[in-house]
Structure 1
Amino acid sequence: MKPGRRRALILLILVGLFLLLNSSLVWKWMYPIKYRLEIMDAARQYSVDPHLILAVIRSESSFQSDRVSKKGAVGLMQIMPDTAKWIVDQGDFKPANEDYLYDPVMNIRIGTWYLQFLHARYEGDAAKIIAAYNAGPGKVNGWLSDGQWNGSRDHLEDIPYPETRMYVQRVLYYQDRYERVYDDELH
């Protein structure tokens, strides 16, 4: 093969790969949605951005409903049992059995209710909501009142807990990805 044709073939292959990698099919494969109906129902019921719910689930459990963390958080949205009990009482939920946190429908509803609760508490500020989902509102309120963190997205590096700092960054990243990939599909 002549050098000019070889370069043209390589260029054609590279352009083809670029187009393939930028196709919505590839992006949807990289950022899947499982439990779409359950997420959309909870998002509508509690007025929470479905992209945020997806980002939390992706970060917490990678869509594995039987996941249990080392600290004891359970299910898709990795809810601590004590927090779940409080949410069940506050939100007037009626779990069918003791293993309700393993049920994707209940876990998504309880987790989304909690995101809505945090949304109201932190006036819709995504960084604070996500930090509180991970570390708890008490810790976040302490950081804010002590001036350790001003609560802004631009100062995530000031979050005192490295785990929470990385968690907030990861959830915001995934939320952005899900918004870009599923821009008009989830509203």
Structure 2
Amino acid sequence: GAGALSGLGPRRGSVGTELALGRALLKGTSTQPAEGEKRLLGLSRHWPTSPEAAEAARLLSERPGPAALALLAQLPPALRQTAPVQARQAFEGERAWREVLARWPVDPASWDLSWELARQRLLKREWAQAAAILKVLSPDRLPTPLAVRQLFWLGFAEQRLGQEEQARYHWRQLLQRSPWGYYGWRAVVRLGEERPPLRLKADPQAAPLAPSVWQPLGSGQPRLDRLWRLDQPLEAWEEWRHQRGSRTPMAPAPLIVEGRLRQGVGDDWMGLAQLEQAQLRWIGARCPVALPLERSLHPVRHGATFAGAAAAAGLDPTLLLAVAKQESRFTAGVASPAGAIGLLQVMPATAAELAGAPVSEDQLRQPELNAELGARYLALLLRQWQGNPFLTIASYNAGPGAVQGWRNPTLELEPELWVEAIPYPETRLYAKKVLGNLWSYQQLSVRGC
């Protein structure tokens, strides 16, 4: 952002340049976010009917704090009438939220508005108000991850209102759509059907970690599918690239094909990202149609490495898979801005403490050592928190010191609500993602739909 800005100076670039620059500056420090807002406002005024202007309005609508309303008021009139802007105004109480949801029921801005309003009411234990919000949008018109979230919390609120039969009905509806992930796990717990229970520690009765099951590509293109079937993923990838050129897939079906092809050539970093995008754009997908995608989203990578490290630390190997999927998407060379490195994103200082000696960054990029040290740290946290999965996983992300300050009676009786009250948005999402990964890995090995 800063480099591009210094090269461009006060001059206005192309609409695409202005959008990219504004987006980058919003993530910067010091005065850069303010400069990014200025650039995006300028873009919206100079090219008000362009797709880039609509995206600029969306980015501005996501700015933190009530001050964002002043930015939105400076947009051209047509852009002030778009779903993201109207949704933000509704969230801040400047317009009726029901009108926004009714006008844009299939816009992601409405989906986010519905959830944020419901979450506010849930945390305040305003069960009737939360249920009323959650009933407005039909789950049939939502992507599966959002539909199951809605159904879980609707059931949760109904149970608190004494509507046990309705609560169980909605949790059953959830499981028919997707028995996997965080909300699949919490639904079976609430229904009293968690069999077998979620495993974090090693269990001698559990089946050993098995490699990923081969699945047909299902692209609908005979030559492409044949190359995949003949175990020629690189040739299949080149065929796909030749067909599509530089076009970026947007719809769920091509996203799934491209994501799986990337996985086939060893690019889990981009492949898993595209599969997750597909899942969030696939409206109305239900089990068993979504089962192949769910399996592709939970590949077994570095299986022998994770199995050995888990056994040495007394952990279930799927716990290491679940953490690695979220931390690095199984990419051994990745490093975070904070300095965490490798498959399980181990900090050098933590690694040195666990190893009893300094550990170099190059060493942390080695899957075997990274898995060993990450497993040791997870085992330490698991012992510290006496096997509690929520505290253990939250601590791996935020640190045990922060998590200690979040402990309260809600954790025991309503752990789902405890997670939603975590003050760090990153940790809140992280806990749900990792625990959902863990449940999916364990369930996909023993059950289908």
Question: TM over 0.5, yes or no?
Answer: yes
Cα deviations across residues 158-186 of structure 1 (Å, max 9, x unaligned)? 111111111001101111111112249xx
Pick closer, same or farther for the CA change 1:98–1:134 going to 2, 3 Å: closer
Matched, 1:34 2:301: yes
Percent identity for Structure 1 against Structure 2: 35
Which of 52, 56, 60 matches 2:327? 60
- Matched to 1:134, the amino acid is N
| 1:106 alignment counterpart | 369
| 2:379 alignment counterpart | 116
- Distance of 1:160 and 1:183 partners within structure 2: 35
Matched, 1:22 2:280: no
State the 1:142 CA deviation: 2.0
Which of 418, 432, 435 matches 1:172? 435
The answer to whether the 8 A contact 2:363-2:369 is kept is: yes
- Distance of 1:101 and 1:170 partners within structure 2: 24
Higher RCO structure (Cα 8 Å, ≥6 apart): 1
State the 1:94 CA deviation: 9.2
State the 1:22 CA deviation: 3.5
| 1:3 alignment counterpart | none
Matched, 1:77 2:340: no
- Distance of 1:68 and 1:149 partners within structure 2: 35
- Distance of 1:127 and 1:81 partners within structure 2: 24
| 1:143 alignment counterpart | 406
The answer to whether the 8 A contact 2:351-2:358 is kept is: no
Which of 146, 150, 153 matches 2:415? 153
- Distance of 1:173 and 1:56 partners within structure 2: 10
State the 1:98 CA deviation: 5.6
What RMSD over aligned residues (CA atoms) do the two structures have, in Å? 2.5
- Distance of 2:291 and 2:363 partners within structure 1: 39
Cα deviations across residues 49-100 of structure 1 (Å, max 9, x unaligned)? 21211110000000000000111110000011111111112xxx896x6621
Aligned residues: 160
- Distance of 2:351 and 2:308 partners within structure 1: 19
Pick closer, same or farther for the CA change 1:36–1:139 going to 2, 3 Å: same
- Distance of 1:148 and 1:72 partners within structure 2: 34
The answer to whether the 8 A contact 1:148-1:160 is kept is: no
- Distance of 1:28 and 1:115 partners within structure 2: 25
State the 1:153 CA deviation: 2.9
The answer to whether the 8 A contact 1:122-1:128 is kept is: yes
**Secondary structure of 1:57's aligned partner:** helix
Q: Mark the runs of 5 or more structure 1 residues left unpaired by the alignment.
A: 1-17
- Matched to 2:300, the amino acid is I
- Distance of 2:378 and 2:410 partners within structure 1: 20
| 2:389 alignment counterpart | 126
Q: Which moved more, 1:55-64 or 1:150-159?
A: 150-159
- Distance of 1:19 and 1:94 partners within structure 2: 49
State the 1:148 CA deviation: 9.5
Q: Mark the runs of 5 or more structure 2 residues left unpaired by the alignment.
A: 1-286
State the 1:150 CA deviation: 3.5
Pick closer, same or farther for the CA change 1:181–1:160 going to 2, 3 Å: same
- Distance of 2:303 and 2:358 partners within structure 1: 22
The answer to whether the 8 A contact 1:118-1:132 is kept is: yes
- Distance of 1:149 and 1:80 partners within structure 2: 31
Matched, 1:87 2:371: no
| 2:445 alignment counterpart | 182
Matched, 1:163 2:432: no
The answer to whether the 8 A contact 2:324-2:343 is kept is: yes
**Secondary structure of 2:405's aligned partner:** helix
**Secondary structure of 2:368's aligned partner:** helix
Pick closer, same or farther for the CA change 1:76–1:126 going to 2, 3 Å: same
